[in-house]
Chain A
Amino acid sequence: MSVDKRLRIEGRIANHDREFEGAIEINTTTGLIEHVGPKEGRSDLETEGCILFPGFGDLHIHAREDVSGTQCYKEDFVTNSNAAIHGGVVQVADMPNNPVAPIDDEKYAAKELLTKKSAVHVTLYAGIGPQTQPLHRHVPYKAFMGPSVGDLFFRSQAQLEAAIANYRGRNVSFHCEDPEILEAHKHAPTHEQKRPASAEITATEFALYLIEKYELAGKLCHYSTGDGLKKIAAAKARGVRVTCEATPHHLFFDDSMLTDENRLWLQMNPPLRSPSDRVALIAALKSGLVDYIATDHAPHTIEEKLKGVSGVPLLDTYGAFATWLMAEHGFTACDISRVCAFNPGVFVREFLPASLGKGFGLIAPGYAASLTILDMKTPYAVTRESVKTKCAWSPFEGYTFPGSVRYTVLNGQVHQAS
Chain B
Amino acid sequence: MQKLKHIISTTQLLNRPLQEHLFASAAQMERDDAQRTLARPLSGRILATIFYEPSTRTRLSFEAAMQKLGGGVLTVENARDSSSATKGESIADSIRVISGYADVIALRHFEEGTAKIAAKMSPVPLINAGDGIGEHPTQALADIYTIEKELGGREGLRVALVGDLLYGRTIHSLLPLLCLYPGVQIDLVSPAQLRLPAKYIQHLERKGVNFRESDKLGASIKSADVIYVTRVQKERFESPQEYEAIKDVYLIDSKIADKLKRHAIIMHALPRVNEIAPEVDSNSRAAYFRQAKNALYIRMALLNYLLA
Judge whether B155 and A364 touch: CB under 8 Å. yes
- Shortest beta-carbon distance from A57 to chain B in Å: 14
Q: Does A237 contact B (CB under 8 A)?
A: yes
* Minimum CB distance partner of A334 in chain B: B262
Q: Does A361 contact B (CB under 8 A)?
A: yes
For A16, the chain B residues whose CB sits under 8 A away are 263
- Shortest beta-carbon distance from B223 to chain A in Å: 10
Q: Does A17 contact B (CB under 8 A)?
A: yes
Q: Does B225 contact A (CB under 8 A)?
A: yes
Option from A134, A217, A338 in Cβ contact (under 8 Å) with B263: A338
Q: Does A255 contact B (CB under 8 A)?
A: no
Judge whether B152 and A215 touch: CB under 8 Å. no
Say what secondary structure dominates the interface of chain B: loop
- Shortest beta-carbon distance from B187 to chain A in Å: 16
Say what secondary structure dominates the interface of chain A: loop
Option from B27, B155, B262, B289 in Cβ contact (under 8 Å) with A288: B262
Judge whether B34 and A364 touch: CB under 8 Å. no
Judge whether A236 and B284 touch: CB under 8 Å. yes
Q: Does A60 contact B (CB under 8 A)?
A: no
Q: Does B153 contact A (CB under 8 A)?
A: yes
**A168 in contact with B35 given A17-B263, A338-B263 (CB within 8 Å):** yes
Judge whether B34 and A168 touch: CB under 8 Å. yes
Judge whether B154 and A168 touch: CB under 8 Å. no
Which residues of B from 142 to 163 have beta carbons under 8 Å from A?
A: 151-156
Which residues of B from 29 to 63 have beta carbons under 8 Å from A?
A: 31-37
A343-381 contact mask (Cβ, 8 Å, vs B): 1 or 0: 000100010000000100110111000000000000000
Q: Does B282 contact A (CB under 8 A)?
A: yes
Which of B33, B35, B225 has the most chain A CB within a 10 Å cutoff?
B35
Complex CA–CA separation, A64 to B284 (angstroms) = 36
For B96, the chain A residues whose CB sits under 8 A away are none
For A36, the chain B residues whose CB sits under 8 A away are 155
User: How big is chain A's contact interface, by range?
Assistant: 20 to 34
B224-240 contact mask (Cβ, 8 Å, vs A): 1 or 0: 01000000000000000
A179-192 contact mask (Cβ, 8 Å, vs B): 1 or 0: 00000000000000
* Minimum CB distance partner of B34 in chain A: A169
Q: Does B261 contact A (CB under 8 A)?
A: yes
Judge whether A138 and B34 touch: CB under 8 Å. no
Option from B34, B35, B225, B290 in Cβ contact (under 8 Å) with A17: B225
Complex CA–CA separation, A31 to B39 (angstroms) = 36
For A364, the chain B residues whose CB sits under 8 A away are 152, 154-155
Option from A169, A236, A362 in Cβ contact (under 8 Å) with B36: A169
User: How big is chain B's contact interface, by range?
Assistant: 20 to 34
Q: Does A41 contact B (CB under 8 A)?
A: no
For A365, the chain B residues whose CB sits under 8 A away are 154-155, 182
Judge whether A169 and B282 touch: CB under 8 Å. no
* Minimum CB distance partner of A289 in chain B: B284
Option from A17, A169, A170, A338 in Cβ contact (under 8 Å) with B33: A169
- Shortest beta-carbon distance from A231 to chain B in Å: 14
Please report the number of residue pairs spanning A and B whose Cβ atoms sit closer than 8 angstroms.
47
For B262, the chain A residues whose CB sits under 8 A away are 288, 338
Complex CA–CA separation, A239 to B27 (angstroms) = 18
For B31, the chain A residues whose CB sits under 8 A away are 138, 169
- Shortest beta-carbon distance from B27 to chain A in Å: 7
Option from B156, B182, B282, B290 in Cβ contact (under 8 Å) with A237: B282
For A239, the chain B residues whose CB sits under 8 A away are 289-290
Which residues of B from 176 to 221 have beta carbons under 8 Å from A?
A: 182
Judge whether B154 and A288 touch: CB under 8 Å. no
- Shortest beta-carbon distance from A78 to chain B in Å: 31
Complex CA–CA separation, A168 to B225 (angstroms) = 33
* Minimum CB distance partner of A286 in chain B: B262
B272-306 contact mask (Cβ, 8 Å, vs A): 1 or 0: 00000000001010000110000000000000000
* Minimum CB distance partner of B223 in chain A: A18
For A216, the chain B residues whose CB sits under 8 A away are 34
Option from B35, B151, B156, B284 in Cβ contact (under 8 Å) with A169: B35
Complex CA–CA separation, A168 to B36 (angstroms) = 7
Judge whether B155 and A358 touch: CB under 8 Å. no
* Minimum CB distance partner of A350 in chain B: B27
Complex CA–CA separation, A17 to B284 (angstroms) = 15
Complex CA–CA separation, A180 to B35 (angstroms) = 29
For A17, the chain B residues whose CB sits under 8 A away are 151, 225, 261, 263
Judge whether A288 and B36 touch: CB under 8 Å. no
Option from B35, B153, B225 in Cβ contact (under 8 Å) with A358: B153
Judge whether B27 and A361 touch: CB under 8 Å. no
For B32, the chain A residues whose CB sits under 8 A away are 169
For A170, the chain B residues whose CB sits under 8 A away are 35
Complex CA–CA separation, A409 to B176 (angstroms) = 36
For B156, the chain A residues whose CB sits under 8 A away are 18
Complex CA–CA separation, A216 to B35 (angstroms) = 8
For B290, the chain A residues whose CB sits under 8 A away are 239
Judge whether B34 and A215 touch: CB under 8 Å. yes
* Minimum CB distance partner of A216 in chain B: B34
**A288 in contact with B284 given A168-B36, A364-B154, A365-B155 (CB within 8 Å):** yes
* Minimum CB distance partner of B261 in chain A: A17
* Minimum CB distance partner of B182 in chain A: A365
For B155, the chain A residues whose CB sits under 8 A away are 36, 364-365
For B27, the chain A residues whose CB sits under 8 A away are 350
For A237, the chain B residues whose CB sits under 8 A away are 282
- Shortest beta-carbon distance from A109 to chain B in Å: 20
- Shortest beta-carbon distance from B246 to chain A in Å: 31
Complex CA–CA separation, A169 to B153 (angstroms) = 25
Complex CA–CA separation, A18 to B224 (angstroms) = 11
Give 9 A-B contacts (CB < 8 Å), ordered by A residue. A17-B261, A169-B31, A169-B32, A169-B33, A170-B35, A239-B290, A288-B262, A288-B284, A362-B154
A residues neighboring B (CB under 8 Å): 16-18, 36, 134, 138, 168-170, 215-217, 236-239, 288, 338, 342, 346, 350, 358, 361-362, 364-366
Q: A16-B263, A17-B225, A217-B34 are in contact. List 19 more A-B contacts (CB 8 A).
A: A36-B155, A138-B31, A168-B35, A168-B36, A169-B32, A169-B36, A169-B37, A170-B35, A215-B34, A237-B282, A238-B282, A288-B284, A338-B262, A358-B152, A364-B155, A365-B154, A365-B155, A365-B182, A366-B153
B residues neighboring A (CB under 8 Å): 27, 31-37, 151-156, 182, 225, 261-263, 282, 284, 289-290
Interchain residue pairs A-B with the least CB separation, the first 9: A169-B34, A169-B35, A237-B282, A364-B154, A215-B34, A17-B263, A362-B152, A168-B35, A288-B262
